[in-house]
Structure 1
Amino acid sequence: MAAMAAGDEHAASEVLRGLARHLNCLNEDNKATRKRALELIKKETVEKGHSSIVLQELFSALLKPLLKCLSDPMERCRETAIAMITEFIRVVPKPEESLPYLMPCLAQRLGEKELLEPAEELRLSAVEMLTLTVEVCGKHLAPYLTDVINILQRTIVDPFPDARRESCKCATNFAKCVPEHFHMQAESLVKPLMQTISHQHARVRVSAIEATGAVIQHGTGKNVDDVLSHLAQRLFDDSPQVRRAVATVVGDWLLHMRDRYSYFHKLIPLMLSGIDDEIPEIRLLSADLWRQVGAQWEKENEDDLKDKMDFLLAPPPFYPPGVERPGLGCRELVVRNLGRLVPAISHDITDWLVPTRVRTSQLLSVLLLHAEDHSTQHLQPLLATLYTACMDAERDVVLNCLAAAKLLGTFVPPVVFLKLLLDRVTSPYSSSHPWAPLMVLAAVLGGCSPTLLQPHLEKIADTLSQPDVCQQYQEVVYLDQLLTCVDVLLRRCESDHGSVSLQLLQVLVTVQSFSTEPRLSEKAVESVQLLGQVQGLDSAVELYRRHMAQLLEWLSGSVNTWSSYSPQRLQLHVIVMQSGPVIGEFVTPLMPLLFSCLQPDRDPEMRMSIFTMLAKLFHDESEKFLSVVLLPNLVWRAGRIAAAVRTAALSCLLALLHGGAATPGQLLCLEEKLSPPVLSALEEDSQMARLLACRSLTVILRLIGTGLHPEALNKIYPALLKRLDDSSNEVRGVALQALGLWLSSLTGGYDPELCAAHLQLVFQQLLLHLDDPDVSVQDDVLEVLKKGSSVHPALLRREAEAVRDHQRSPLLCDQLLQHIGALTAETTSDVKSSLH
């Protein structure tokens, strides 16, 4: 060995003698000479293939001249010198012997405020040399801590991106090599790293994140807060590699940082955010690291968790299907830090940056999935956060928060969340967004088990149907959320709606009455149908039949205060128009509503809207309304209430006929059903009913008299003749008018000779009233008889001549006879003219 060492020493001496001239040339002014000298030295040393011992000797001898060349004015010289030193460090057995000279020189070149090395490629090479030195010298660099830190402080923010990357790599290695010394000055690197962590090059950002991880890991732990916000911003980085680096660093801290327990509440959000990353690889990495963190914590706290490990292995009932339950350690970590995490979530979910709000809303769901029923303790601030988030303009934020609200419904007992939610629904804290509590309520209900929800259905339905809730706001978005709440109840508890059917129908009626969007109205109609279906009813009409009395009573309580702005007016419109023929079965409670609304002293706009509603009802469903609604209510029944109903129905019939809602064709089809109750009504005790019946018959004759069959016509006149003796002159006048129309209806299809007996009775009764004590009646009867004279002139002449001498004054009879004579003469003349 000694001989070998002596031989190596001799070989080194020989090489150095051969290099003496070249070393002298390094001091020449001519840069070409210096350059050639360096290249020759390189050729005879590191490129020659000497043994490591010889190279060690050569390095010791050449180090100072080479270090001097690092400040050579010629760039090529500096480059060659750096390359030679780097190669020596790589191959010599004891590179640490160079440190007393190398480190001060590098600190001077790279660690000063002003850059002494102008060439960026050479700065990169110098930093690479430092990185190599850290790798091969390791703990021997401890005495040079300050020099290395000073260098890295400058080169981490070097203008050249590759130099920054290499510096970050060097910082990472240096922190690991001398951890027992590094922590004393680690803080000095935090500021330059945070300047580099947002560099425009993704690879530089990755290196900065990795270096930050090592610096904090091997530092004092005091600078975690200084870097967390910067790392959090990198969670939104466009580069997946950057986000992956964040997940790796945070996971490493959670697993290995000495004081990690103090920072769990700050690091957990960063770790869990990666679980929702859009890149599968990052999601898997984050989930795996998080499982490791939970398992390690579980092992470290095994004694505290013993009971829970034995008894809480099974997931809670109604756990979200298809979701993997986090491990016990992971859940406990979140539960024990939730009190600190919730305020941070509440703060960040209102951040001005959209990506921050989106990522925070995603994180909220992950936290609640871990917290399970422990979220109950933080329910109030969580709900307040959700109310705020639901008002966000960014759709993803809203959707994520609704998913979180659904988890609250899964894990929190209904008796707890309903107390807070229903109070907020009845008194929204935001006048500009009163629908936010409804949106959260719908989502929470959507996550709750039907079994647990069922006992609270009545309370929920009562709240939703309160006027302050369902009638207070008319914005589309509010009504949409109100409708969503009802739909959730219908779909979550399909078979339990008997006790709340009325309240839910009231809400659905209100939504339809306020809605200005066809989409929302159609959705509400579908919900009405669904409400009937879940109760086993065949149709929405059956649902209205079940609740019509209660609905009308609901409206009647305030009818005296209605105006054109009252929501109840709109609700009545929906009920009347949607219930179809059912409304006819409830004329008794409906009519007082209509009478009250239609009094002449009530709001004109309201009255007009009610009339419009009735007209629309009659127009759209006139035939059905006549046959199914009105006619059954015209059938005689004993009692004063029944009589009042018939009067109201007659009034409605007259309005329908006058309004033209029923066409002549429809009336002809219904005549056989319509005439009997109307004729029967001519015998009513009520004068108003008799008058309405007479007027209705008048309109019917005017519309379809000429189209009636003779048998139908002959059934009408007897009842009208009786009314000529009515106690009311107004009824008598209308009856006479109707008789005049009856006579005008006797067209070609009516055979006067065949029906002479009927005509004789009509003429006799009219002639009797031609001698009425009331002069105005006499005049009216005369006009009617003149109209009827064309039907059967001969018969009327005979009857008039028979009673002329028995009347108190024959004057009117004479006028009638003269009219008949003139009519006959005119007819004869027309016949002769036609023959000629």
Structure 2
Amino acid sequence: MAALVAAEAAAPPGPAEAAETAEAAELSRALSRLLPGLEADSKLGRRRALEALERALEAARPEAPDADPAAAAAAFQGPWARLLLPRLLRCLADPAEGCRALAVHLLGLGLRRAARPRDALPRLLPALAARLAGPEPARRPPPEACEELRLALVELLGLAVRLGGSALAPHLDDAVRVLRCTLLDPFAAVRRESCDCAAALARATPDHFHMQSESLVGPLMQSISHQHWKVRVAVIEATGTVVQFGSGKSVDDVLPHFAQRLFDNVPQVRQAVTRVVGDWLLRLRDRYSFFHKLIPLLLSSFDDEIPEVAREAANLWEKVGLQWQTENEEDLKDKLDFAGPPPAHHPSPGSRPGLGCRELVFRNLSKILPAICHDIGDWVAGTRVKSAQLLVVLLLHAEDHVTQHLEPVLRTLQHACADEERAVVSSCTRSAQLIGTFVSPEVFLKLILPTLRKSPSPSGLLVLASVIQGCPREALRPHVKVIAAELAQAHICQGSENLLYGESLLLCVQSVVAVSREDCRGSSLQLMEVLVTVLALWGATGLGDKVQETLATLAAVASMDGSLDLFREHAGPLLEWLAGSHQAWTIHSTELLQFDVVVIHSGPALGEVLPQLVPVLRSCLQPTRDPSMRLRLFSTLTGVLLQARETVDSQGQFHAYLDTVIKDIFIPNLQWHAGRTAGAIRTAAVSCLWALISSGILSNKQVQEVRGTLTPQILTALEEDSQMTRLTSCRIISAFLKTSDDVIDPDKFMKIYPELLKRLDDVSTEVRLAATSTLVTWLERAGKEGGKSCDQGSIQYLYRELLVYLDDPESTVQDAVLEALKAGSALFPNLLVRETEAVLHKHRSPTYCEQLLQHLQTLPPAP
């Protein structure tokens, strides 16, 4: 056998081997002639030598179509490794930049053409490290100063990695040392190429790379926030591969940086994070240990503003769930065999996550939720928004399994619903709706209602409203009365005067009505109490229209025609609800505002609740009560009395309470007291009395009773400082005179005109005209009674006074006085003629006197 081997070795080479040897020899001779030029002293000489080598190598490339590439590579291998490689590596340190560039190009060309490129690695890697790896990459510049050359060197390293494959294992130290520096290179293209090289190195040496992978994670994370988005994408993708083939311990170092990149403004960066995390969840060796950390990152992309990123995240997540389901098929056997339909009220049953996805979330929820709950309160708005969106996705997967984590989730939602970011609040209300969908009301109400009792807040009410919105009607039905009764409690419905609180409180009622519909009929009184409170506290600040809409909806589900029917049914109980505290009311009492709302909005129902209404008014309008409160109540009562037929007298029963209203309400408040506040109350009382008299609900007999009781107070009111009081008092006296058919006591009748005459000197022309108009009524009334109530002396005095004002500077007053004299001329016409003629020459213009005399001539002669 040994002899046979020796004989074969001594045998002459075959034709192919001979040709290969001849080609190698020829190439060696050609290179030998050119290589000395690389040692030239001049830069130009070395460059020309390198260019000549390039031409020689290009010329030596096999051009024939039938040439054997393997044979050519084998022929090239010897001269390349023996002659060319060592000298080209020395040229990498050439002082001339052009020479170094040509050397790099030739090295790349040689690696591609050599039959065994891995043989060059022991010499190539140290040379590359010498040019690219500085001792302190973060502080000192690399030995190679030219950016383009550093890029070419890194590309050469990448070529060596691709061609060398697993043969790079012994040289990992040099390669990693180079990449640690080039990953932080100032030139962005070098960083991108280094990322590709790092990923290729990890794939080429899977059995050894894990020992070096951690040393690359630091530089990668330093570059992950680079200003160029393409660098950031390359870093993320390279990190995915480095960690995939490296140590699982690096995941914890990488995840915070990946989480930060989910806020990147460039969609490609966020998409790269999504892909890498999804790939880890599918292929990472230790992925089960990191599920609770990786799942939130992938699910966070579900709400990405770019649909393509969101779709890719959803597709990857579906694959993850299916793979996990397949890997754990035995564990999930019962659930797979007896899979039930989606929950009846699932928000999106057609796109319900698969079993594997749901189980993954459920089994990791206890580890994920604490971090989410913490981040929802982060000081960075973007973190809060992302965390709130992620919570929605988690709850959609967890379904009823969230019950065991309900307390911390609700606590977080109540805090987050007070956030100033609308996006956070929107996501949190969506989460609360999902809780209402998947969790029994009996469970979540036991957690929410005690918190509201202890500390009512707008956010707490918003959470309650949201869970009610998501709750199925059948599940909510047994709890409607409890919710309505709780909302109607004073410490909740009056918990704050903040508008946001009122909006949240109203939203609770709207949610109850919208979800329970006809089931809330039995709780309509409590819901009315809440709506009355909202209207009382916030109706003037923008919630009035929304409350009216809610009242209309509540009436509709209760099979009523509108809100008036609601008030007709509940006005009595509402007044009784408020009457219990009326003794302590002041202008600041919420109950006063609620009472005001009930009175204003009850309409015809007020005529049915007079037994409850009048005692409260009588008590609250006593002179000893808060003046500001009395002013408000008089204002409300005036508005009601102006439409008395449609309000307090809708049943025709107001006359039964007239005596109480006059004696216990008007008379005490018309009595004179010093001070502006007392004057304002008298003005309000006079206005309210005028509303009653002008409403037309009083019969002549009732007007006579009112006149007999109130005339002294009204005559006194003619002297008030308030113009409104004087004006309204004139109108009231005129109404008394017009609507009374009985014979007025002469003494009382004669006391009226002197007070009216005084008003002719009033500073207000409007009051003067009203007083003159009332005098007309008085004179007409005197004429109807044939002068029985008047003596000639009093009438003569009245004529003389009126004739003075017939020459008033105001023409409107002159016209009014002329009408008054004409109205009274029938009493003593001859007397009026004499008085008129006596002053005719004294007036600035005799026109009005002449008109009066002409009128007197038309009267029939006195008997």
What's the TM-score bracket when you normalise by the shorter of the two chains?
A: 0.7 to 0.9
> Which of the numbers 514, 518, 523 marks the counterpart of 1:491?
514
> Which of the numbers 109, 132, 135 marks the counterpart of 1:110?
132
Pair 1:471 & 2:494 matched: yes
- The residue aligned with 1:508 is 531
Cα distance in 1 for partners of 2:731, 2:27 equals 135
> Which of the numbers 202, 222, 225 marks the counterpart of 2:252?
225
Of stretches 387-396 and 364-373 in structure 1, the one that deviates more from structure 2 is 387-396
Task: Write the letter of the residue equivalent to 1:165.
Answer: R
Tell me: CA distance 1:651–1:105, structure 2 relative to 1, closer, same or farther (3 Å): same
Tell me: CA distance 1:316–1:668, structure 2 relative to 1, closer, same or farther (3 Å): closer
Task: Write the letter of the residue equivalent to 1:363.
Answer: L
Q: Deviations over 1:528-563 (max 9, x none)?
A: 232222212222222111111111111111112222
Of stretches 54-63 and 175-184 in structure 1, the one that deviates more from structure 2 is 54-63
**Hey, which bits of structure 1, 4+ residues long, moved more than 4 A?**
622-627, 649-658, 661-664, 666-669, 676-679, 689-701, 705-708, 733-752, 787-791, 822-836
Give the 5 Å matches for 1:357-372: 357-372=384-399
Unmatched runs of 5 consecutive residues or more in structure 2:
1-12, 63-71, 671-682, 716-728, 757-773, 797-826, 838-852
Cα distance in 2 for partners of 1:80, 1:824 equals 136
Q: SS state of the match for residue 39, structure 2?
A: coil
CA contact (8 A) 1:349 1:356 kept: yes
Of stretches 440-449 and 351-360 in structure 1, the one that deviates more from structure 2 is 351-360
Task: Write the letter of the residue equivalent to 1:56.
Answer: Q
Unmatched runs of 5 consecutive residues or more in structure 1:
636-643, 683-688, 725-732, 764-783, 792-821
Give, in angstroms, the shift of residue 605 of structure 1: 2.3
Of stretches 2-11 and 499-508 in structure 1, the one that deviates more from structure 2 is 2-11
CA contact (8 A) 1:495 1:534 kept: yes
Q: SS state of the match for residue 208, structure 2?
A: helix
Give, in angstroms, the shift of residue 516 of structure 1: 6.5
Cα distance in 1 for partners of 2:777, 2:30 equals 145
Cα distance in 2 for partners of 1:78, 1:474 equals 79
Cα distance in 1 for partners of 2:526, 2:648 equals 31
Cα distance in 2 for partners of 1:743, 1:280 equals 84
Q: SS state of the match for residue 579, structure 1?
A: helix
CA contact (8 A) 1:634 1:678 kept: no
Give, in angstroms, the shift of residue 745 of structure 1: 5.8
> Which of the numbers 548, 552, 557 marks the counterpart of 1:529?
552
- The residue aligned with 1:241 is 268
Cα distance in 2 for partners of 1:563, 1:435 equals 26
Cα distance in 2 for partners of 1:669, 1:118 equals 101
- The residue aligned with 1:317 is 344
- The residue aligned with 1:728 is none
> Which of the numbers 190, 210, 219 marks the counterpart of 2:217?
190
Cα distance in 2 for partners of 1:22, 1:535 equals 105
Cα distance in 1 for partners of 2:161, 2:233 equals 21
> Which of the numbers 42, 45, 52 marks the counterpart of 1:33?
45
Pair 1:331 & 2:358 matched: yes
CA contact (8 A) 1:573 1:613 kept: yes
Task: Write the letter of the residue equivalent to 2:655.
Answer: L
Give, in angstroms, the shift of residue 445 of structure 1: 1.1
Task: Write the letter of the residue equivalent to 1:675.
Answer: N
Cα distance in 2 for partners of 1:657, 1:789 equals 34
Q: SS state of the match for residue 180, structure 1?
A: coil
CA contact (8 A) 1:409 1:447 kept: yes
Give, in angstroms, the shift of residue 128 of structure 1: 0.8
Q: SS state of the match for residue 361, structure 1?
A: helix
CA root-mean-square deviation: 3.4
Tell me: CA distance 1:265–1:248, structure 2 relative to 1, closer, same or farther (3 Å): same
Cα distance in 1 for partners of 2:430, 2:640 equals 44
CA contact (8 A) 2:27 2:60 kept: no
> Which of the numbers 445, 451, 468 marks the counterpart of 1:424?
451
- The residue aligned with 1:203 is 230
> Which of the numbers 81, 97, 100 marks the counterpart of 1:75?
97
Give, in angstroms, the shift of residue 313 of structure 1: 3.6
Pair 1:670 & 2:683 matched: no
Give, in angstroms, the shift of residue 824 of structure 1: 9.9
Task: Write the letter of the residue equivalent to 2:356.
Answer: G
CA contact (8 A) 1:695 1:734 kept: no
TM-score, L = length of structure 2: 0.79
CA contact (8 A) 1:275 1:283 kept: yes
Of stretches 173-182 and 313-322 in structure 1, the one that deviates more from structure 2 is 313-322
Give, in angstroms, the shift of residue 150 of structure 1: 1.0
- The residue aligned with 2:628 is 605
Pair 1:615 & 2:638 matched: yes
Q: SS state of the match for residue 495, structure 1?
A: helix
Give the 5 Å matches for 1:692-731: 702-704=733-735, 707=738, 714=741, 716-717=742-743
> Which of the numbers 569, 572, 575 marks the counterpart of 1:552?
575
Tell me: CA distance 1:273–1:606, structure 2 relative to 1, closer, same or farther (3 Å): same
Q: SS state of the match for residue 275, structure 1?
A: helix
Task: Write the letter of the residue equivalent to 2:493.
Answer: C
Give, in angstroms, the shift of residue 394 of structure 1: 1.4
Q: Deviations over 1:542-600 (max 9, x none)?
A: 21111111111111111122222211111111111111232232121112212222222
Cα distance in 2 for partners of 1:151, 1:652 equals 99
> Which of the numbers 385, 392, 410 marks the counterpart of 2:437?
410
CA contact (8 A) 1:197 1:209 kept: yes
Give, in angstroms, the shift of residue 240 of structure 1: 1.5
- The residue aligned with 2:660 is 647
CA contact (8 A) 2:133 2:143 kept: no
Give, in angstroms, the shift of residue 220 of structure 1: 1.9
Pair 1:355 & 2:382 matched: yes
- The residue aligned with 1:266 is 293
Cα distance in 2 for partners of 1:594, 1:827 equals 50
Cα distance in 2 for partners of 1:501, 1:736 equals 58
Q: Deviations over 1:41-70 (max 9, x none)?
A: 111124531422222122112110111111
Tell me: CA distance 1:2–1:248, structure 2 relative to 1, closer, same or farther (3 Å): farther
CA contact (8 A) 2:645 2:695 kept: no
Tell me: CA distance 1:201–1:745, structure 2 relative to 1, closer, same or farther (3 Å): closer
Cα distance in 1 for partners of 2:311, 2:551 equals 46
Cα distance in 2 for partners of 1:787, 1:300 equals 121
Tell me how many residue pairs correspond in the alignment: 739
- The residue aligned with 1:56 is 77
CA contact (8 A) 1:694 1:735 kept: no
CA contact (8 A) 2:750 2:790 kept: no
Q: Deviations over 1:680-721 (max 9, x none)?
A: x79xxxxxx98479999999983235655xxxx54x34xx78
Q: SS state of the match for residue 515, structure 1?
A: helix
Q: SS state of the match for residue 670, structure 1?
A: coil
Task: Write the letter of the residue equivalent to 1:704.
Answer: A
- The residue aligned with 1:42 is 54
Q: Deviations over 1:405-444 (max 9, x none)?
A: 1111111111111111111222228xxxx21101111111
CA contact (8 A) 1:390 1:401 kept: yes
Q: Deviations over 1:748-767 (max 9, x none)?
A: 69986xx99xx9xxx7xxxx
Give, in angstroms, the shift of residue 785 of structure 1: 5.8
Cα distance in 2 for partners of 1:411, 1:342 equals 17
Task: Write the letter of the residue equivalent to 1:19.
Answer: L
- The residue aligned with 2:157 is 130
Give, in angstroms, the shift of residue 663 of structure 1: 6.4
Give, in angstroms, the shift of residue 25 of structure 1: 1.6
Of stretches 320-329 and 374-383 in structure 1, the one that deviates more from structure 2 is 320-329
> Which of the numbers 113, 120, 126 marks the counterpart of 1:98?
120
CA contact (8 A) 2:634 2:688 kept: no
Task: Write the letter of the residue equivalent to 1:598.
Answer: L
Of stretches 392-401 and 205-214 in structure 1, the one that deviates more from structure 2 is 392-401
Cα distance in 2 for partners of 1:751, 1:167 equals 117
Cα distance in 2 for partners of 1:365, 1:170 equals 40
Tell me: CA distance 1:586–1:8, structure 2 relative to 1, closer, same or farther (3 Å): same
Q: Deviations over 1:98-119 (max 9, x none)?
A: 1121122122222332512111
- The residue aligned with 1:575 is 598
Q: SS state of the match for residue 493, structure 1?
A: helix
TM-score, L = length of structure 1: 0.82
Task: Write the letter of the residue equivalent to 2:90.
Answer: K
Cα distance in 2 for partners of 1:588, 1:537 equals 25
> Which of the numbers 330, 335, 345 marks the counterpart of 1:308?
335
Tell me: CA distance 1:94–1:240, structure 2 relative to 1, closer, same or farther (3 Å): same
Give, in angstroms, the shift of residue 93 of structure 1: 2.1
Cα distance in 1 for partners of 2:427, 2:645 equals 53
Pair 1:438 & 2:452 matched: no
CA contact (8 A) 2:195 2:234 kept: yes
